[in-house]
Amino acid sequence: MKRRRNWSLQEQSSFFIQLGRLLSKGYSLAQAIEFLQIQQPVVKQKDLDDCMQALRAGVPIHETFSRMQFHSHLLGYIFFAEQHGQLAHGFIEAGEIGQMRAHYVEQVKRMLRYPLFLFSFCIAMFFIFQQVLAPQFSHLLSSFHARSAFSTFIFSVAVWLPRIFSIALIVFIFFVLFYFFVVRSWPIYRQMNLFMNIPIVRSWIVSFHTQVFSLQLSHLLKGGLSIYEAIQIFEHQSHLPLLREEAKLMKQQLCAGEKLDEIIEQRKYYEKELPFVIRHGQSNGELVQELLHYSQFSLQKLETRLKKSVYLIQPLLLSFIGIFVILMYMAMLWPVFQLLNHI
């Protein structure tokens, strides 16, 4: 039986940041969790009790939080932190990434709340107009021989627009259901090949994957591992499926004598700059630092794009609603003007 998720993404992120800060101050993991457990509500205290029992039984840290239904992207950070030993830093990084994601999701929800309410109200008004007023106006215009090309167009819009929206809604629901019940069961490369054909989605996949790869590779190399050993660790994690499958291919190509920058250059899931960063870092002996700096720049670029997308959504939606309202009023008032001209 699948366990119910009791922690929102914001709560998971805050907990990880607090846990990381306590670890950095010298607390053991058990002491830090017990300290934070005191401040949690009863349901979450039970989750943390189970977490402590799992840790005492030798279950890996990332696996204990996976049982609590924590977000897979955050758990990926924890997995890698266990491997390179910087657990406190890993918890804080995971929490900060989660907080950024939760912040923008909440911002989008808040921005969409009013426009969607307004849009729903307009749709309801349009349906009422179509079912009640439009037939009466059409009958009156025909009686007075007042029908014109423009009024015919307005009535056509009044009839067809709700139908178009209904069809669009049905298509949208179909694609959502298709994704959750069909696409998610596909192998990860088949999913990615589908998404990579959608330009907007492709850019987000590439940016996110590049940022995670460069950051975690930097941490693992800093911990004293070779590139091959770091790729093996990527292969053994389960929280980031694309990274795992890419690592399997990379390992084979590294064994065949290919260089990492050449391998990445051949793949479509990485930013174009990453091979040059790796090549430059290897040539001057600063690969760890350059990968770290590049991951930080990638994260800043990702956040900037998120901000632009969020700030673009509401004006576009409100502009669309404005056009829709103008059409609705024209559909309602134009027949009245036509009748007045023929009385």
87-94 mean pLDDT: 94
Residue 304: the pLDDT is 87
- For 59, the 3-state DSSP assignment is coil
- Torsion angle of alpha carbons 199, 205, 211, 216, nearest 10°? -160
Render pLDDT for 113-169 as a digit per residue (tens, 0 to 9). 877 787 777 777 777 777 776 677 666 666 655 555 666 676 666 667 767 777 888
> Higher model confidence: residue 215 or residue 308?
215
343 vs 27: CA distance, rounded Å: 87
Residue 342: the pLDDT is 61
Is the per-residue pLDDT at 1 higher than 50? no
Render pLDDT for 159-217 as a digit per residue (tens, 0 to 9). 677 677 778 889 989 999 999 999 999 999 999 999 999 988 999 999 999 999 999 99
User: For residue 246, how many other CB atoms are within 10 A of its CB?
Assistant: 24
Q: How confident is the model at residue 247 (pLDDT cuts 50, 70, 90)?
A: very high
- Cβ neighbors of 273 (< 8 A, separation 6 or more) are 294
Give the burial class of 82: count Cβ atoms within 10 A of its Cβ; 0-12 exposed, 13-18 middle, 19 or more buried. middle
Q: How confident is the model at residue 60 (pLDDT cuts 50, 70, 90)?
A: very high
Q: How confident is the model at residue 4 (pLDDT cuts 50, 70, 90)?
A: low
Residue 159: the pLDDT is 66
DSSP string, 20-32: HHHHHTT--HHHH
Give the burial class of 44: count Cβ atoms within 10 A of its Cβ; 0-12 exposed, 13-18 middle, 19 or more buried. middle
Name the least confident of 173-177, 282-286, 309-313, 332-336: 332-336
Looking at every residue in the chain, the average pLDDT score rounds to 86
Q: Give, to the nearest 10 degrees, the angle between helix 87-128 and helix 149-181.
A: 150
Name the least confident of 107-121, 244-258, 300-314, 329-343: 329-343
Residue 151: the pLDDT is 61
231-252 mean pLDDT: 94
Render pLDDT for 253-297 as a digit per residue (tens, 0 to 9). 999 999 999 999 999 999 999 999 999 999 998 999 999 999 999
Is the per-residue pLDDT at 37 higher than 50? yes
